[in-house]
Amino acid sequence: MSERLEAGSKVNNSMKRQKRRKGQQKQQQRVGVEEDALSADSHCEPLLRGIFQIGKKSHDVELTTSRITWTPIQPEDPTGQSAVKKLQGDFVDLTDVFAVKVKRRRSVGQKSGGTLLGITVFVGKRKGAKLKDHAVHLNNLSADHCEIWFKHLKDILNGFQNRPKSLKVFINPSSHKKEAYQVYVDQVAPLFKLADIQTDVTVTERKGHAVSVLKECSLEEYDGVVCVGGDGSVAEVAHGLLLRAQMDAGRDTDSIFMPVQAALPLGVIPAGSTDAVACSVHGIRHPVTAALHIIMGHKQAVDVCSVSSVGRLMRFCFSVMFGFGGRTLAAAEKLHWIPNTQRRELAFISSLTHLKPEDCELSFIASSGAAVDQTDSELEDELSNVAEDGPWQTRRGLYLSISIMSIPCLCSMAPRGLAPFTRLNNSSMALVAVGNASRSEFIKHLKRYSSTNNQFSFSFVETQCVRAVRLRPRSHCGWTDETSEENEESDTKNAPIISTEGTYPWNIDGELLEVPGEVLIRVHPRILTLFGSDVEEAEEKPTKCSCI
């Protein structure tokens, strides 16, 4: 790319350039250009230099391979006195530029042509975790001048190989407040269009629709997949992408196999009620931020869990909950005629009212939790032992809730994450096992997720960094006798979690899965790439659950 640009830069006659540079140096001394802006880029040879009007002032604008820098031009004082006022220059890094357009004045309804006004550079401006689109108008009425600048800028943007040019988009119109489609049309599609990204949109019609499309469509023509929806939709698309990769690689998903990576990165446009995946890679629930991360090709490899039962893959996912989390979801499904938010609150209250522990055999293989730098074959060797021979540690007892997460799951309910002690790609999962406790103690633990207090500093909560977890719910006979006195307030006469079909409810990324018997959960390091970056804490305003 740089060769192409250097060739392009020969447009400038070197004599002229020297002369101009001398003039520029003089001018810099005269007007006192913001020194930081220029000095950081001083090692880069200018590709282009020209005069544009920015705002109300004429500016000397310089393009290098990494920046556009502009400095206001101060007219010479007729009295010959040097200017006292220091004029401020500014710059944008080209890595923050996501589109460039020729700017024309058009009358209402006019679709093409129009009077040339200059060029507009679109920048993703950062404010904390938020990215906002910002336009810098470089006005100049010369068509030749603008054409050269436009071409150079376009060449540079096209040279960013990490940026997608074509995307497969899934929109779940039923997510949360049914706003996903409008969010896409109003906030995301215009940015994709501006960045000249081709899109192929599927508005999903039912649960499982995205998976069936991903299993069959030709992926070669895309540079990424985008999901507009809540965590359930993201989980479905992530599962579909990973399942497709296993099919293409000939992996037998009816066995304990080592999965291959998904072929395409996944972009997450938040339009759900919790959006923990979007928050974990953007730090904020903001569709424009998510769209700009996708356009600018910011990528982050993440660990994913697999859930298997009797040796068969059931799901790839980011979070698995058993006990309270599974029960609450099962209760919510039974109230399907009630609107989403009220349904969840009712189910939550009902599960709290009937709080009861599950009798389980919980086994896990611990990991350091620190990011590991292993080769793929070393990882494969290590993780293939997980099914049978790993150094399992086993606990037997009563648990109110067991959660396993491969990413921190940041959200407004838990700005530091449901699992703050795991990272996006540390080859490890967080295991949070909440043992038997009174309802009031359990509520205290839940409340701490949205506060600054440590939600895990309770004697009945155990946390571990793990590579694999095996959970075997034990027969419901027996556990009532072991219930602690502290838990007397719970309704011990209530039906156990096991259903009449002999299955247990699991909450897998917010989706209910009824599974009989033992479940194996393994971590698969970095097998999925998400558009976004690693984030420490969500910038969301903490919201407290209205039920507790």
Ligand X SMILES: Nc1ncnc2c1ncn2[C@@H]1O[C@H](COP(=O)(O)OP(=O)(O)OP(=O)(O)O)[C@@H](O)[C@H]1O
Using the contact rule CB under 6 A, the part of the chain among 101-109, 226-234, 419-427, 438-446 near ligand X is 226-234
- Within 330-349, which residues bind ligand X (CB under 6 A)? 340
Count Cα atoms within 13 angstroms, Cβ side, for 294. 35
In this complex, which beta carbon is closest to ligand X, that of residue 150 or of residue 318? Answer: 318
In this complex, which beta carbon is closest to ligand X, that of residue 118 or of residue 272? Answer: 272
- Contact between 281 and 424 under an 8 Å Cβ cutoff? The reply is yes
In this complex, which beta carbon is closest to ligand X, that of residue 371 or of residue 547? Answer: 547
- Within 231-250, which residues bind ligand X (CB under 6 A)? 231-233, 236
The minimum distance between CB 235 and ligand X, in angstroms, equals 7
Identify the three-state secondary structure at position 175. coil
In this complex, which beta carbon is closest to ligand X, that of residue 41 or of residue 236? Answer: 236
The minimum distance between CB 291 and ligand X, in angstroms, equals 17
- Within 252-281, which residues bind ligand X (CB under 6 A)? 272-275
The minimum distance between CB 171 and ligand X, in angstroms, equals 9
Using the contact rule CB under 6 A, the part of the chain among 85-93, 201-209, 291-299, 493-501 near ligand X is 201-209
Rounded CA separation 360/472 (Å): 6
State the DSSP code for 414.
B
The minimum distance between CB 181 and ligand X, in angstroms, equals 10
Tokens of 296: 């600018």
Rounded CA separation 304/316 (Å): 7
The minimum distance between CB 242 and ligand X, in angstroms, equals 15
Identify the three-state secondary structure at position 445. helix
Instruction: Give CB contacts under 8 A, 24+ apart, made by 74-80.
Output: 74/27, 74/30, 74/31
- Within 357-396, which residues bind ligand X (CB under 6 A)? none
Rounded CA separation 509/504 (Å): 16
Using the contact rule CB under 6 A, the part of the chain among 107-115, 151-159, 224-232, 353-361 near ligand X is 224-232
The minimum distance between CB 342 and ligand X, in angstroms, equals 13
- Non-local CB neighbours of 237 within 8 Å, separated by 6+ positions: 170, 210, 214, 225, 227, 266
Residue choice 57, 132, 207, 334 for contact with ligand X (CB under 6 A): 207
Q: Which residues pair with 304 in a beta bridge?
A: 524
- Contact between 274 and 413 under an 8 Å Cβ cutoff? The reply is yes
In one-letter notation, the amino acid at residue 267 is G
In this complex, which beta carbon is closest to ligand X, that of residue 5 or of residue 347? Answer: 347
Using the contact rule CB under 6 A, the part of the chain among 91-99, 172-180, 301-309, 376-384 near ligand X is 172-180
In this complex, which beta carbon is closest to ligand X, that of residue 274 or of residue 464? Answer: 274
Question: What is the phi/psi pair of residue 209, to 5°?
Answer: -60, -45
Using the contact rule CB under 6 A, the part of the chain among 120-128, 199-207, 376-384, 427-435 near ligand X is 199-207
User: Contacts with ligand X: how many residues (CB under 6 A)?
Assistant: 23
Count Cα atoms within 13 angstroms, Cβ side, for 252. 4
Question: Could you give the angle at the alpha carbon of 89 between the alpha carbons of 86 and 91, nearest 5°?
Answer: 165
In this complex, which beta carbon is closest to ligand X, that of residue 229 or of residue 532? Answer: 229
- Within 284-313, which residues bind ligand X (CB under 6 A)? none
Positive/negative CA dihedral, 338, 341, 344, 346: negative
Exposure string (b/e) for 14-37, b if CB count within 10 Å is 16 or more?
A: eeeeeebeeebeebbeebbbbeeb
In this complex, which beta carbon is closest to ligand X, that of residue 100 or of residue 330? Answer: 330
In this complex, which beta carbon is closest to ligand X, that of residue 473 or of residue 510? Answer: 510
Residues forming the site for ligand X (CB under 6 A): 172-176, 204-207, 209, 229-233, 236, 272-275, 340, 510-511
